Chain A
Amino acid sequence: MSLSSLKTDHELIELLKQDSLPAFNEIYERYSGPMYKFAYSILRDEAACDDILQNVFTWLWENRTVLSITSLKAYLFAAVKFNMAGVIRRSKRRTEILANAPAINEAEEEDILELKELKNIIKSFTESLPGRAREIFELSRRDYLTNKEIALRLGISEKTVENQMNISLKKLKVHLGRMSFWCGLM
């Protein structure tokens, strides 16, 4: 009756895409513990870790049909990392958290997979923007160009750049809202 624990991650993802709640629950059972431990080792805050776990799995369910996941474990851990970035930057304890980091190790194979998934998550927003909007967004936020500089470089009016950035920032808010809605301040 209960879903076999012997199913592979790949099979679980396929079932998840067909709206299988048991598959979702099995994924949760498989990875929520290690994910929680990982988040806790960095944040040392139970409520924040609760929120992150909740966010990541809610996100997983709500986007089950559109997600393209190569490694489920790497994807979930990358999603935890992405959420943590937002939690730490807003945390009152951020200095303490940053000071706790152990020495950085050589990246192992699993971590490289996670890095790949993390990049996917972070870039999923800019990649969702249409061509010109994306160009403007990246010049502004990644290369730190001013609106005037962007206008000159792309041969458009400064007003257009400003409007386009406003639209993109609104979209970003919605996009990130979905990924990190429950993250409160620690």
Chain B
Amino acid sequence: MNAHNELLRIMERISDSTATDAEIAQFNSWCDAFKDEQIKIDHLEEIKERVLLKIHSRIIKKPYVIPLFIKRVAAAAVATIVFSIWFYSSHRTPPNVNTPYANDVAAGKLGATLTLANGKKINLTVAASGNLANEPGVVISKNSKGEIIYTAAVSSNTKADAVNKLETSNGQQTQVQLPDGSIVYLNASSSLSYPVSFANKAERKVSLDGEGYFEIAKDKAHPFIVESKGQEVRVLGTHFDISAYRDEPVSKTTLLEGSIIVSTAEKQSTLTPGSQLTNDGRKIDIRQVDTEISVAWKNNLFLFEDEELGQIMGQVERWYDVEVTFSDNIAHERFGGGVSRFSNVSKLLKSLEATGKVHFRIAGRKIYVSK
């Protein structure tokens, strides 16, 4: 017991910087005696990753901001696959007769505009498959499925600050493989800016406006960072979705697997799989969600559960490139259901109307919503 008190006193003196050499040596030997213990720690890799994220968020200064803009281009019209349809409203009523629409709007499709570091713009909807452009150190091409593929060239003398920007207009959706192997799905009316090459960079930093689903390649030495409206997401390798449209009041960050840190001006939050962080610029909420619904768009589905009509119609505007006007105050009514994103807009609207809670009128590229 006395020996313990003596040791405790030494520890105090060590903390106070006043311990003598002999005392330091005694404490040192005491610590070393534990080293032979065969200790097994479960999830050590997870612990290391979690702590490294915290360290990074403390030592890395606030990021620079890449200016973003959204270019709006009329979407080309293509109608394809029809999926099973089902829709319900929170107050179920008998479905009424299908309303025929005077005209219909076709779904959006795969496509995007790529702006190279030198300012050159490439329309990926019409560009032929194959090699698109050679940037120093990087080959950009489009495969037969319309995906943009990057390949890091062997000998590179990449300009350190060359940045590419991938943008989708209303009615477009795209997918890209970044030079580190990470895959990003970009929803309609969104843009992603990223360095042409991540080589020689401490961090893999990109900037998002709109919605993107990220499948980040694991690289512990190079954290992946997504900057979006009012927040920064920091990961080492994981799957997550960020919806951060400038004209939507709330940003949502949903984690599917792994671990991420979301930083806003006020605070840092660590998300666990299956949780969603909402950020309205003033406060942050974290709750458990059905992640299938959050990423349905990248699986080519409209899928809603207890979602406000206003939010649903926001997605309709972006994907079908239409303008939605509410004649009655029902934007906060909640609906749930699902339909293929490749159907004409009427499929979705009819399903919603079948609940008896809402009616639509299509006029050109305008949709009017009423009770």
Contact = CB atoms under 8 A, between A and B. Distances in A.
Interface residues of B, number: 51
B120 to A, nearest CB: 25
A114 B35 CA distance: 13
Contacts of B74: none
Nearest to B17: A125
Interface string B12-33: 1111111111001101111111
A62 B4 contact: no
Interface in B1-19: 4, 7-8, 10-19
B31 A81 contact: yes
B219 A2 contact: yes
B307 interface: no
Contact of A40 (B10, B13, B41): B41
B28 A58 contact: no
Contacts of A50: 47, 50-51, 54
B323 interface: no
B17 A105 contact: no
A40 B39 contact: yes
Interface SS of B by simple majority: helix
Interface stretch (A65-73, A88-96, A145-153, A154-162): A88-96
Contacts, number: 155
A101 B34 contact: yes
A58 B57 CA distance: 10
Interface SS of A by simple majority: helix
Nearest to A37: B39
Interface string A24-41: 011011001100111011
Interface string B207-226: 00000000000011110000
Interface residues of A, number: 63
Interface in A153-186: 172, 175-176, 180
Given A37-B44, A122-B17, A53 B219 contact: no
A39 B18 CA distance: 23
A115 B28 contact: yes
Given A54-B51, A58-B55, A98 B44 contact: no
Contacts of B328: none
B37 A41 contact: yes
Contact of B32 (A2, A107, A138): A107
B52 A38 contact: no
A54 B47 CA distance: 11
A98 B19 contact: no
B97 interface: no
A2 B222 contact: yes
A57 interface: yes
Given A1-B199, A26-B221, A41 B29 contact: no
Contact of A25 (B19, B34, B58, B222): B222
Interface string A104-116: 1101100100110
Given A32-B52, A102-B36, 17 more contacts: A2-B222, A36-B41, A36-B48, A46-B47, A49-B47, A81-B27, A81-B31, A85-B10, A85-B15, A86-B14, A99-B4, A102-B34, A102-B37, A103-B33, A104-B30, A122-B17, A122-B24
Interface of B: 4, 7-8, 10-21, 24-25, 27-37, 39, 41, 44, 47-48, 50-52, 54-55, 58-60, 152, 180, 198-199, 202-203, 219-222
5 contacts: A22-B202, A32-B51, A115-B25, A141-B17, A142-B13
